[in-house]
Amino acid sequence: MMRNHDQRYQKRRLATSYVTTIISITLVLFMLGLLGMLVLHAKKLSDYVKENIGFSIMIKEGVKEIEIFELQKRLDKEPFVKSTEYITKEHAAREFSEELGEDFVGFLGYNPLLPSVELRLKASFANPDSIAEIEKTLHDYPIIKEVDYHKPLVDEINKNVERISIVILGFSMILLVIAIALINNTIRLSVYSKRFIIRSMQLVGGTQKFIQKPFLMKAILNGFLSSIIAIGLLLLVLYLANDQIPELLEFQDFNLFGILFAAVIVLGILISWISTFFAIRKYIRMKTDSLYS
């Protein structure tokens, strides 16, 4: 009777250890996944802001519309261009009149505004050095009179993006180190509870590889299961966030999310396997007297 009670106690203890390990790894992977989602959203938001940096390209007086369309086509083929929009003199006048609140063309008797092309850059080119080169390239077109953009705004955007990137990178590294330490400690405690089983296997002639194999296979399974649960939680967070803030859909790239989820799975399995490997090796090499300390 006493023996059955001890066996049930040991089973409950092992089950509790197993569940605790899964929960701990899942929570850590979930936090890392959340950070990854934050980084992805920050990158997309940064690209969105940069791609709204644009040039107002003023066309010389008397240039035919067909020449402007030809310029627009040539600009669309440039590697730095995301989009272009042709603004006629009449359209520019209507917008300016709406801003002023009165018809300035009727007051002056003519439309002094020039036609223009609004150009939006690709995010990778929205930095001061690239913009300076782009400005020189645009001035080479003979029908372009003037190129205008907000240089202070460009500088400020790039400085802020750089600061935010450094902060996120630093925080990511700290969280990754903490995550690895937490998972490692959890697994070491789990293996510690089985140290006498390891010693028993040694006493009956089990080799190091033979003893390690079931533990490492279990570690891979634990890492995979934990990562799947963590991904499920991340998808739930993503669903709730999109439900509350539909605009987030504009900044989401589901291909990148697929890569992130794959990374969570690989990280979960890898950390679990490595931590288990070193923990088992420690107890295999440990002297019998030390097992009781």
User: Model-level pTM?
Assistant: 0.61
Which backbone phi and psi does 53 adopt, to 5 degrees? Answer: -75, 125
The pLDDT assigned to 290 comes to: 53
What average pLDDT score do residues 282-291 get?
58
The identity of residue 64, as a single letter, is K
In order of their start, the domains of the chain are: 2-48+157-292 (no CATH), 54-149 (3.30.70.3040)
192 has a pLDDT exceeding 70: no
pLDDT at 3 (0 to 100): 45
Instruction: Name the most confidently modeled range: 104-108, 236-240, 243-247.
Output: 236-240
pLDDT in tens, 121-140: 888 888 878 888 888 888 88
Helix (H) or strand (E) holding 132: helix 128-139
The answer to whether the CB of 18 falls within 8 A of the CB of 190 is yes
**Given a cut of 90, is residue 228 above it in pLDDT?**
yes
Q: What is the mean pLDDT of the segment spanning 255-263?
A: 87
R_g (Cα) of the chain, nearest Å: 31
pLDDT of residue 6: 45
